[in-house]
Structure 1
Amino acid sequence: MTSSSYDYAREIVYAQDRDRYLAGLFAAEDARNGLWSLYAFNAEIARVRDLIRDPLPGEVRLQWWRDFLQGTEHGDAAANPVADALGQTIRAYNLPVKALTDMIDARVFDLYDDPMPTLHDLEGYCGETVSALFQLGALVLNKGQDAGTGEVAGHAGVAFGLCGLMRALPWHAARGQMYLPADLLDRHGVDRQTVLKGEATPELRAALAELRGHARHHLVRVRQKLKDVPPQAAAVFLPLALVEPVLARMDAKDFDPLRGSAELSQLRRQWILWRAARKSGPKL
């Protein structure tokens, strides 16, 4: 089932995470299946909130993945093509299972409408979800050997994660969910209820400007460390080339963070990724 499982995983990534899919095409061909399995797993656990009405069924779905990773799954886990592909990848590259279970644990937050307490907590959430995915992808492209990318992956995940959450703010607010940290909102006098109602106040704009500053701070740290990324692992970090153009769109004075879209066209995203890949490593 392995070959068809990898094909299935690739199709999920193509449909649900197009930017990582395109970036993965610049990786060594013999390592792409490993990337597809990781990215498909990430897509599966990231969309659990979209598939359920109440948190409990979501908890059950996430627990199934925990059980699978810990070898205590119920039934034939290999019947799930994403799980089958992921299991093959874990064994082929000796990936740390704890990093994957930590990703699942972090996604429990997605199931509820609890506020994100602090910026530190938000960065930790990005670290356990997005940074981990960068690091695991680098392990796959470096044939299971530590590529020394832990620090760059950490900063990359926070920069990419913060940017993604700001892009998704209208969607999250519409369903009553808040990733913007409470301490950031309090510092700028933002009323959480106005955000959930879709009202873009000056206070909210100031808070988001500060958050973009944090994303750019981590992006600077990434730029300082990218030169140390082994060439064979560079493709994992290509999606970071999209962060600054998206942040720049959010900087516009007339941009509405709760009703506008900071999305780049598909053609422009492809061109940015291609340009970054043409250089010796993803220059940002």
Structure 2
Amino acid sequence: MAQADRERYLATLYAPQEHRDALFAVFAFGLEIARVRDVAREPLPGEIRLQWWREVLHGERGEQGLANPVSAALLDTIRARDLPLSPFERLIDAHTFDLYNEPMVSVAALETYAAETQGALLATGARILGLRETEYAAILQATANALIFAQVLTDLPRHAARKQLYIPADVLAHYSAKREDILARNATTEVRAALAEMRLRARKYLDEAERLRNTASAGILPLLLPASLVRPALQRMERQSYEPFAVESEASWRRQWRLWRAARDPRKIFA
């Protein structure tokens, strides 16, 4: 976890100590499922791997499930915290989309994907922290949307290289941007306009989350801290020199500093 998702790992360290291991178990599971395409490379092995995880959740893999450190920790957490299985099942189902090169049909579809991936992890995290999921559903969904929409933009070079596209088809159609240009990594005026629309939507999710944060309990903040990296990433994409298909990343120390600053001043999380 500390290496695979350094920022989420560091953010979780701001949670109460008695909850950290449970949060790490849930987030590590999310990472395992999200990387299935990268590991499997082909749909069928990926489907088999996802099915393996479904069977693990239902106790159908016995010693195999216990031998895997991620699944063993997750099963212990589910039992100890009395967590429902449905969010984990929905997360697995949602990531089935990753195995294929089908289009993301609409903004609504991407929001659903966000709800069932990042949103499911955040909602489960809230439950672990002893918070009522329903009370925080709106801010968690806005945060999940912002994280996923920003991730879609950040991962565009990698997705395009493997002929995969998460930019919603209705956004592309609105600006007459062609899927073929994106897959060919051709940053046309129309493609850039569609990407600008995605950034605008991500900022609106951040603004919504910030409004909700003003009345939220401090207990929810460790789950929100990774969102402190979103607006700076969007701002870098607004630079004139921005190349959508060039792989860029902010220095690790600066990302860690942003997390630290947001933990000290929650107003910086979505700002």
TM interval, shorter chain, is over 0.9
Gaps of 5+ in 2: none
> Is it true that 1:163 corresponds to 2:140 in the alignment?
no
CA contact (8 A) 1:238 1:282 kept: no
Compared with structure 1, are the counterparts of its residues 56 and 215 closer, same or farther at alpha carbon in structure 2 (3 Å cutoff)?
A: same
> Is it true that 1:194 corresponds to 2:181 in the alignment?
yes
1:244 to 227, 231, 238: 231
1:137-216 alignment, distance < 5 Å: 137-142=125-130, 146=133, 148-216=135-203
Equivalenced residues, count:
270
CA contact (8 A) 1:234 1:282 kept: no
CA contact (8 A) 2:227 2:269 kept: no
CA contact (8 A) 1:242 1:272 kept: yes
Deviations along 1:20-71, one digit per CA (max 9) or x if unpaired, are 0010111111111011101110110000000123201100100111111123
Counterpart of 1:231? Answer: 218
**Cα distance in 1 for residues equivalent to 2:219 and 2:106:** 36
RMSD of the alignment, in Å? 1.6
**Cα distance in 1 for residues equivalent to 2:190 and 2:71:** 44
**Cα distance in 2 for residues equivalent to 1:18 and 1:177:** 25
**Cα distance in 1 for residues equivalent to 2:235 and 2:20:** 31
**Cα distance in 2 for residues equivalent to 1:82 and 1:145:** 26
Deviations along 1:9-29, one digit per CA (max 9) or x if unpaired, are xxxx11111110010111111
**Cα distance in 2 for residues equivalent to 1:165 and 1:90:** 30
Shift of 1:86: 0.6
Counterpart of 1:133? Answer: 121
**Cα distance in 2 for residues equivalent to 1:148 and 1:282:** 22
**Cα distance in 2 for residues equivalent to 1:281 and 1:24:** 18
Shift of 1:272: 0.7
Counterpart of 2:246? Answer: 259
Counterpart of 1:70? Answer: 58
Deviations along 1:129-169, one digit per CA (max 9) or x if unpaired, are 01111111122122x75472111111110011100110000
Using the size of structure 1 for normalisation, the TM-score is 0.91
Amino acid in structure 1 at the alignment position of 2:5: D
Counterpart of 1:119? Answer: 107
Gaps of 5+ in 1: 1-12
Q: Percent identity?
A: 41
CA contact (8 A) 2:110 2:168 kept: yes
CA contact (8 A) 2:224 2:269 kept: no
DSSP 3-state at the match of 1:161: helix
Amino acid in structure 1 at the alignment position of 2:98: D
> Is it true that 1:272 corresponds to 2:266 in the alignment?
no
